[in-house]
Structure 1
Amino acid sequence: MGVSTTAPEEGVAVVTVDFPPVNALPVRGWYDLAAAVRAAGADPEVRCVVLTAAGRGFNAGVDIKELQRSRDHGALIGVNRGCFEAFAAVYDCEVPVVAAVHGFCVGGGIGLVGNADAIVASDDATFGLPELDRGALGAATHLARLVPQHLMRTLYYTSRTVTAAELHRHGSVWQVVPRNQLHEAALELAREIAAKDGSLLRLAKAAINGIDPVDVRRSYRYEQGFTFEANLGGVADRVRATFGTTADGGQEQA
């Protein structure tokens, strides 16, 4: 259980997240994920990173139960900072990051894939932000990188999800494959990227980040301020009090 890194072939590092039962990450998990991605990208032998997950789904966001157990705002501050670090680590990774997504990708999962360079998804993958149902805000910054503006707003306000096939039609998912082919499909894309010159890939990543029209770190940090305000004002506690388990036993949040 936790975050692990493997090197299945030359030039490719695979960072795998495994927090049963649904990959709802505790505060420490977000920091561990950030550290693993940064370390993989800093390795001069690595030219592409694949971010994947074990278990039932890619990511169910934050472990809400950890927040509920906290008697002060320590866990909230920790998870805000942890998510910020993990999302930024994917965005700032020195080499391209391919996200391999299966099952549910919600809450913090959107922050991860929204900051990735490419997404390969299984045909059972779904994406969404249930924040308004979970007493929080955030990651609209990253959802806006996956879908057009008005669709992003509608999904955010309704907490609805979209399928991998729908995101493929919008151009944000590179490829949709059967679940048993996801790992190989992600490696195939990573292999193609990793065949390029490593120094040139690093320059390309820096150049592409440099021309982004939105500073994803600043905009996400701005969103987090409203999450904290909702907690200070008691709104978040009121909403979270109605939260038990999701239909699949999850603890979705960002």
Structure 2
Amino acid sequence: MGVSTSSPEKGMSVVTVDFPPVNALPVRGWFALADAVRAAGRDPGVRCVVLAAEGRGFNAGVDIKEIQAQGQGALVGANRGCFEAFAAVYECEVPVVAAVQGFCLGGGIGLVGNADVIVASEDAAFGLPELDRGALGAATHLARLVPQHLMRALYYTARRATAAELHAHGSVWRVVPREELRAAALETAREIAAKDRELIRLAKAALNGIDPVDVRRSYRFEQGFTFEAGLSGAGDRVRDTFGKEGASRE
């Protein structure tokens, strides 16, 4: 359990997240993920990083139970951890391919929204249930996956979009059967890793440099409203209902 790194082929590094039962990451998990992605990107022998997960779903966001049990300290920790993990993916010195299965929610959107390429299984679903979890944030990253008005509708309703829908919008590169997901992600990474080591890193820096939105600043702005919701009591009021009436951690 935790975050692990493997090197299945030359030039490729796979960072895998495994926090049962639904990959709702605790504070330490977000920082561990950030460290692993940054380390992989700094490795001069790596030309592409694959971000993957074990279990039913790719990511269910932050561990709400940890926040409710530990209070504001855990909320601040989760905010900082998410900020570091999202930034690590975006700023990774080489392209990052996200391999997404099952649910990709909350913080998961932050990860894939900052990735360079997304490969998803047919059962993958993407969404921001933030308003149902007493938080705000990651609209910055959802806006990188869908058009503006669809982003707003998904955000306000907390509904999910399927992998096929995101593929139609051009944000998901490939949609494959679940059992073929890892192989498809590695195939894409292999194609990227075949490029010149120096040029692929320059290409990543160049594309980040022409991005129309400063994702770090934009997401940090959103986080201020999450903290405001916590101070006002609105966040706790909503989170206190989490898990009741049949709600699940995903």
- Counterpart contact for 1:103–1:126, Cα < 8 Å: yes
Amino acid at match of 1:44: P
- Helix, strand or coil for the counterpart of 2:99? strand
Supply the distance in 1 between the matched residues of 2:102 and 2:76 (Cα, whole angstroms). Answer: 28
Task: Evaluate the alpha carbon distance shift between residue 59 and residue 247 of structure 1 in structure 2; reply closer, same or farther with a 3 A threshold.
Answer: farther
The match for 2:158 is 159
* TM-score normalised by structure 2 residue count: 0.98
Shift of 1:242: 1.0
- Helix, strand or coil for the counterpart of 2:144? coil
The match for 2:115 is 116
What is the CA deviation profile of residues 32-64 of structure 1, one whole-angstrom value per residue up to 9, with x for unaligned ones? 000000000000000000000000100000000
- Helix, strand or coil for the counterpart of 2:217? helix
> Which has the bigger relative contact order, CA under 8 A and spacing at least 6?
1
The match for 1:70 is 70
Give unmatched runs, 5+ long, in structure 2: none
Cα root mean square deviation, aligned: 1.1
Task: Evaluate the alpha carbon distance shift between residue 248 and residue 177 of structure 1 in structure 2; reply closer, same or farther with a 3 A threshold.
Answer: farther
The match for 1:240 is 239
What is the CA deviation profile of residues 2-50 of structure 1, one whole-angstrom value per residue up to 9, with x for unaligned ones? 0000000010000000000000000000000000000000000000000
Task: Evaluate the alpha carbon distance shift between residue 57 and residue 245 of structure 1 in structure 2; reply closer, same or farther with a 3 A threshold.
Answer: farther
Give unmatched runs, 5+ long, in structure 1: none
1:43 aligns with 2:38: no
The match for 1:180 is 179
- Pairing 1:1-254 to 2, within 5 Å after superposition: 1-71=1-71, 73-244=72-243, 249-250=248-249, 252=250
Shift of 1:247: 6.4
Amino acid at match of 1:157: Y
Shift of 1:132: 0.3
- Helix, strand or coil for the counterpart of 2:97? strand
Task: Evaluate the alpha carbon distance shift between residue 238 and residue 90 of structure 1 in structure 2; reply closer, same or farther with a 3 A threshold.
Answer: same
- Helix, strand or coil for the counterpart of 2:134? coil
Supply the distance in 1 between the matched residues of 2:61 and 2:247 (Cα, whole angstroms). Answer: 14
Supply the distance in 2 between the matched residues of 1:246 and 1:92 (Cα, whole angstroms). Answer: 40
Shift of 1:249: 3.6
* TM-score normalised by structure 1 residue count: 0.97
Task: Evaluate the alpha carbon distance shift between residue 41 and residue 246 of structure 1 in structure 2; reply closer, same or farther with a 3 A threshold.
Answer: farther
- Helix, strand or coil for the counterpart of 1:99? strand
Shift of 1:228: 0.1
Supply the distance in 1 between the matched residues of 2:244 and 2:38 (Cα, whole angstroms). Answer: 32
Task: Evaluate the alpha carbon distance shift between residue 133 and residue 62 of structure 1 in structure 2; reply closer, same or farther with a 3 A threshold.
Answer: same
- Helix, strand or coil for the counterpart of 1:52? strand
Supply the distance in 2 between the matched residues of 1:245 and 1:215 (Cα, whole angstroms). Answer: 37
Shift of 1:207: 0.4
- Counterpart contact for 1:22–1:249, Cα < 8 Å: no
- Helix, strand or coil for the counterpart of 2:21? coil
Supply the distance in 2 between the matched residues of 1:100 and 1:248 (Cα, whole angstroms). Answer: 26
Supply the distance in 2 between the matched residues of 1:81 and 1:238 (Cα, whole angstroms). Answer: 22
Amino acid at match of 1:208: L
Amino acid at match of 1:119: I
Amino acid at match of 1:37: V
Shift of 1:246: 9.0
Q: What is the identity percentage for the equivalent residue pairs of Structure 1 and Structure 2?
A: 79
